[in-house]
Amino acid sequence: MTTPNSSSFLGFFLVTTLLVFLSSSKKLGFAFAGRQKIESNNHLLHHHTHTVEVSSLLPSTTCSPSTKAPNGKASLKVAHKYGPCSQLHQDKAKTPTHAEILQQDESRVKSINSRLSNKLAGRGNNDLRNSEASTNIPAKSGSTVGTGNYVVTIGFGTPKKDLTLIFDTGSDITWTQCEPCSKSCYQQKEPIFNPSASNTYTNITCSSNLCSKLVSATGVTPGCSTSTCVYGIQYGDQSFSVGFFGKERLTLTPTDVFDDFLFGCGQNNQGLFGGSAGLLGLARDPLSFVQQTTPKYGGFFSYCLPSSSSSTGHLTFGKGSGGASNAVKFTSLSKVSDSTSFYGLDTTGISVKGTSLAISPSVFSASGTIIDSGTVITRLPPAAYSALKSAFREAMKAYPLTDPLSILDTCYDFSKYDNVSFPKIAFSFSGAANVLLDGTGVFYFTKTSQVCLAFAANGDASDVAIFGNVQQKRLEVVYDVAGRRVGFGPASC
Ligand SMILES: *[C@@H]1O[C@H](CO)[C@@H](O)[C@H](O)[C@H]1NC(C)=O
Ligand SMILES: *[C@@H]1O[C@H](CO)[C@@H](O)[C@H](O)[C@H]1NC(C)=O
């Protein structure tokens, strides 16, 4: 394309994207970035606790890939964006601080809540008359929202170019930065995709009904530039991607190739997407990767997020590919999923050290819950967090508390200990009782002298509870989109 006429549509989109509510964006984070050896301690007294060596909490600078290989074929390696196992591994100086990561996590949570309250109030994001209020969302100067935590590498085009994308269960559309970057592209590690160098790329025309499908996936009415459909998506803070809507061949593995995959070819992109090439949308809109590949995979995928940034996990598509084992406990999608593309769950309780916390069922029914691969820290309604915090502190009273870190208010100084023991935490969802969190899913580790309980309270009892990615570590999380259910299985990476 030629750059000149791009300024008009880009201008249009910069205005309209400010008018719409923020979609979810992704945050960085490498909670508990250490190599952690969790003893499986079956000793009676310690049945309800994990014991770890404090030294094992320290982050490793070398990658030790998981040796557990998933049995499915369509399986991609998952790495933490900033860890040594990632393609995108970069200088320490470029990685955000823990305080920044947690701040970005707050931005994501805010944007999720505004998207939810918009949808639940029956005001579609595409109705610009009703979006006026969102123009008041303060634009942060300087640093933009950092995004996402976990990445996978996928082949685009013919000849195939490998691109590393953040995968996100809270996003619908898949996009990658494309040449020519008419306005701007952020820095990415791999060469930027060039559609004109691919034999299999096709633009979608404005008159195509595929173009009109963008509204639900992006929340923005598509634009049109020289009869090519233009998409725009705005994330939390100032991150966005704008460009041509196209279709292209995607190659997951040599045997799993998808022609005509609809995606955003982003020519104007902003945000610290961590050097990644873009986003892989794994939410439930018809344009998401999951829905577009339903003929092959049946709307079924699972993942295992690695125990630390120096290990690997997997993202696997299709049934019979891990996740289908009998050990997986399923819960049906909740009503949050009726009106949004999020994966809504019904939380029914939390237990600490084998004892259920006294939380009234109305606490979780008032907030609703979603599971999100891009939110780092699990958010709970204030009453639920308060019960969790008390029980956790009680069980940990042998250890000295230390300064809070951003949104985390229960932090311990473990510097004087060789080993520490902490209570096991389990979640119950409707139909899936006692999903026991892995030992790596309890703390957010910054340094030995500041190890924090990785949960936070929502500001408001009506804000949605979010089952975040620290808590998902090492669990096999199974998404049966067609069957409208999500399952949890034992550690699979
Ligand atoms: C897609 O459409 C844009 C705008 O019309 C054009 O500049 C570009 O060359 C087209 N790309 C291809 C591969 O047709
Ligand atoms: C710490 O735990 C390890 C096993 O993980 C054990 O070998 C060691 O004796 C423990 N040290 C102390 C001081 O309890």
pLDDT 10s digits, 257-283: 999 999 999 999 988 787 899 999 999
Q: How many residues does the chain have?
A: 493
Nearest alpha carbon, ligand 1 atom 6: 1
Ligand 2 pocket test, pick from 43, 52, 419, 422 with the greatest ligand atom count within 8 Å of Cβ, gives 419
How far is residue 217's CA from residue 206's CA, in Å, rounded to a whole number? 16
How far is residue 213's CA from residue 241's CA, in Å, rounded to a whole number? 17
Ligand 1 pocket test, pick from 1, 198, 204, 249 with the greatest ligand atom count within 8 Å of Cβ, gives 1
Q: Is 237 a catalytic residue?
A: no
**CA atoms 223, 225, 227, 230: torsion sign:** negative
* 228 CA to centre of ligand 1 in angstroms: 7
Asked if 45 and 51 touch (Cβ cutoff 8 Å), the reply is: no
Q: Does the CB atom of residue 198 touch ligand 1 within 6 A? A: no
- β-strand partners of 258: 250
Asked if 189 and 182 touch (Cβ cutoff 8 Å), the reply is: no
Nearest alpha carbon, ligand 1 atom 13: 196
Assign 255 a pLDDT band (cuts: 50, 70, 90): very high
Q: Given the CA of residue 419, which atom of ligand 2 is nearest to it?
A: 1
* 137 CA to centre of ligand 1 in angstroms: 33
Q: Is 372 a catalytic residue?
A: yes
Residue 415 CB neighbours (<10 A): 13
Residue 343: name the closest of 214, 148, 481, 175 by CA: 481
Taking residues 284-294, report their average pLDDT: 97
| Per-residue pLDDT, 58 | 78
Q: Does the CB atom of residue 226 touch ligand 1 within 6 A? A: yes
3-class secondary-structure state, position 393: helix
Residues with Cβ within 8 Å of residue 34, at least 6 apart in sequence? 56, 57, 58, 59, 60, 308, 445
| Per-residue pLDDT, 66 | 86
Angle value at C-alpha 428, between 355 and 113, nearest 5 degrees: 120
pLDDT tens track for 5-26: 444 444 444 333 333 322 333 3
Q: In what helix (H) or strand (E) does residue 453 lie, and over which residues does it extend? A: strand 450-453
With a pLDDT cut of 70, the percent of the chain lying above it is 81
Q: Given the CA of residue 203, which atom of ligand 1 is nearest to it?
A: 1
User: With 90 as the cut, is the pLDDT of residue 383 above it?
Assistant: yes
Ligand 2 pocket test, pick from 39, 41, 418 with the greatest ligand atom count within 8 Å of Cβ, gives 418
CB-count exposure of residue 121 (10 Å: 0-12, 13-18, 19+): exposed
* Separation of first and last alpha carbons in the chain: 44
The reply to whether omega before 180 is within 30° of 0 (cis) is yes
Ligand number nearest to the C-alpha of 38? 2
User: With 90 as the cut, is the pLDDT of residue 358 above it?
Assistant: yes
Residue 418 CB neighbours (<10 A): 8
Q: Which amino acid is at 99?
A: A
Tokens of 146: 């950092």
Ligand 1 pocket test, pick from 202, 211, 228 with the greatest ligand atom count within 8 Å of Cβ, gives 228
- Phi and psi at 290, nearest 5°, equal -60, -45
Taking residues 81-85, report their average pLDDT: 87
Q: Does the CB atom of residue 199 touch ligand 1 within 6 A? A: no
Whole-prediction pTM = 0.86
193: DSSP letter: B
Q: Which residues of 209-246 are buried (b: 16+ CB within 10 A; e: fewer)?
A: ebbebbbbbbbbbbbebeebbbbbbbbbbbbbbbbbbb
Assign 326 a pLDDT band (cuts: 50, 70, 90): confident
| Per-residue pLDDT, 156 | 98
Ligand 2, CB cutoff 6 Å, lining residues: 39, 53, 418-419
Nearest alpha carbon, ligand 1 atom 7: 1
Catalytic member of 168, 256, 285, 438 = 168
Nearest alpha carbon, ligand 1 atom 2: 228
Ligand number nearest to the C-alpha of 41? 2
304-to-139, 187, 323 alpha-carbon distances in Å: 35, 28, 10
* 20 CA to centre of ligand 1 in angstroms: 26
With a pLDDT cut of 90, the percent of the chain lying above it is 64
pLDDT tens track for 420-444: 999 999 999 999 989 999 999 999 9
Q: Does the CB atom of residue 107 touch ligand 1 within 6 A? A: no
Q: Which amino acid is at 410?
A: T
| Per-residue pLDDT, 57 | 78
In the chain, which segments carry CATH 2.40.70.10?
Answer: 75-317, 327-489
pLDDT tens track for 456-493: 999 999 999 999 999 999 999 999 999 999 999 988 89
| Per-residue pLDDT, 142 | 24
**Stretch among 64-78, 234-248, 269-283 having the lowest mean pLDDT:** 64-78
How far is residue 319's CA from residue 76's CA, in Å, rounded to a whole number? 15
Q: Does the CB atom of residue 228 touch ligand 1 within 6 A? A: yes
Taking residues 338-360, report their average pLDDT: 96
| Per-residue pLDDT, 478 | 95
Taking residues 398-416, report their average pLDDT: 97
Tell me the pLDDT of the chain averaged across its residues: 83
Ligand number nearest to the C-alpha of 243? 1
pLDDT tens track for 100-141: 889 889 988 988 888 888 755 433 343 222 222 222 222 222
Taking residues 357-380, report their average pLDDT: 96
Q: Give the right CATH number for 327-489 from 2.40.70.10, 1.20.140.10, 2.30.40.10, 1.20.1250.20.
A: 2.40.70.10
Taking residues 335-358, report their average pLDDT: 95
Q: Where are the alpha helices (DSSP H) in 41-131?
A: 98-120
Ligand number nearest to the C-alpha of 267? 1
* 474 CA to centre of ligand 1 in angstroms: 43
What is the Cα gyration radius of the chain? 22
Catalytic member of 105, 237, 285, 372 = 372
Asked if 323 and 476 touch (Cβ cutoff 8 Å), the reply is: yes
Nearest alpha carbon, ligand 2 atom 13: 418
How far is residue 448's CA from residue 56's CA, in Å, rounded to a whole number? 10
Residues with Cβ within 8 Å of residue 237, at least 6 apart in sequence? 22, 25, 107, 139, 140, 144, 145, 271
How far is residue 88's CA from residue 360's CA, in Å, rounded to a whole number? 44
Ligand number nearest to the C-alpha of 224? 1
**Where does 75-317 sit in CATH, by number?**
2.40.70.10
Q: Given the CA of residue 52, which atom of ligand 2 is nearest to it?
A: 5
pLDDT tens track for 127-181: 222 222 222 222 222 222 445 689 999 999 999 999 999 999 999 999 999 999 9
Q: Does the CB atom of residue 203 touch ligand 1 within 6 A? A: yes
**CA atoms 318, 320, 321, 327: torsion sign:** positive
pLDDT tens track for 183-231: 899 999 999 999 999 999 999 999 999 999 999 888 888 999 999 999 9
**Stretch among 4-8, 69-73, 417-421 having the lowest mean pLDDT:** 4-8
359 versus 25: which is more confidently predicted? Answer: 359
